[in-house]
Amino acid sequence: GETRYNKDKILQGQGVDEPLSATGFRQADAAGLFLSNVKFTHVFSSDLLRAKQTAATILGKNKFSNDLEIKYDARLRERKYGVAEGRPLTDLKAMAKAAGEQCPSFTPSGGETLDEVLERARDFFDFLCRLAVELEQKEQDVCAAATRSSEAPAEQSGFPWTNHCSETELSSDGASQTLDASILVVSHGAYMRNWIGYFVSDLNCTLPTDITKSQLSSVSPNTGVSHFIVKLENGNVLKPEITCVCLNQDSHL
């Protein structure tokens, strides 16, 4: 969600730990309502305040998962911008120009390189894949969950994409009920842009047909939602098959 620093185009990175603005809380509420029917098995968030507040607000609106514990992980923090943190974005651009470089590849003094951000994202994604494999291996638990999902609940859980996104189709019978894990991750714009770039460039993620290069390289709007389906054939965490259902979705705002 938005902070006052977002609105004023001031870099926050990791060193500025601003709370959500009133607008940011409204955005988080809207995202929570949008995702209220998704049955999450896990919730992870950056340990920076703006992400923690966003995750808690989203989960508080959820019909199925609001008793889950949010796990905070420093690997999900925004890119560190060093001496540029707390300063206007225009200052970062001026620093890059003076160095003969361009944003976002420029690294200010004390900041993280894009490779360092990517390493954090890669490490966290590997952790998620191993988590999913461990869940699959707990056969009794999986069978019990399958039995429960086959019963007709008062309210059906599911993803809200039908009328909002390009069709990289989920099955009409509700793919969420066949997943070993349904994981909500709340992070930050520059970090997620790098993570998505890793999916596309390194892991050959399948994209919706109408996604443009500019959309791939742009930062998500505040509380923008992206949805990926990850398949690990025979528990092989080294070769995940990734499908992007939607990218930086903001129709809830």
53-78 pLDDT tens trace? 999 999 999 999 888 999 999 999 99
Does the pLDDT of residue 154 top 80, yes or no? no
pLDDT tens by residue, 203-245: 999 999 999 888 898 999 999 999 999 999 888 899 999 999 9
pLDDT tens by residue, 81-94: 999 999 999 999 99
In terms of C-beta density within 10 A (0-12 exposed, 13-18 middle, 19 or more buried), how is residue 64 classed? middle
Q: Report residue 162's pLDDT band, with 50, 70 and 90 as the boundaries.
A: low
Q: Which of 31, 32, 86, 14 is nearest to 222 (CA)?
A: 31
Does the pLDDT of residue 147 top 60, yes or no? no
* Contact between 242 and 205 (Cβ < 8 Å): yes
pLDDT at 176: 40
pLDDT tens by residue, 33-50: 999 999 999 999 999 999
Q: Report residue 146's pLDDT band, with 50, 70 and 90 as the boundaries.
A: low
pLDDT at 234: 86
Which residues belong to the annotated binding site? 50, 78-81
Per CATH, the architecture of 4-140+180-249 is what?
3-Layer(aba) Sandwich (3.40)
Cα 132 to Cα 181: distance, rounded to the nearest angstrom: 6
Which residues belong to the annotated binding site for substrate? 50, 78-81
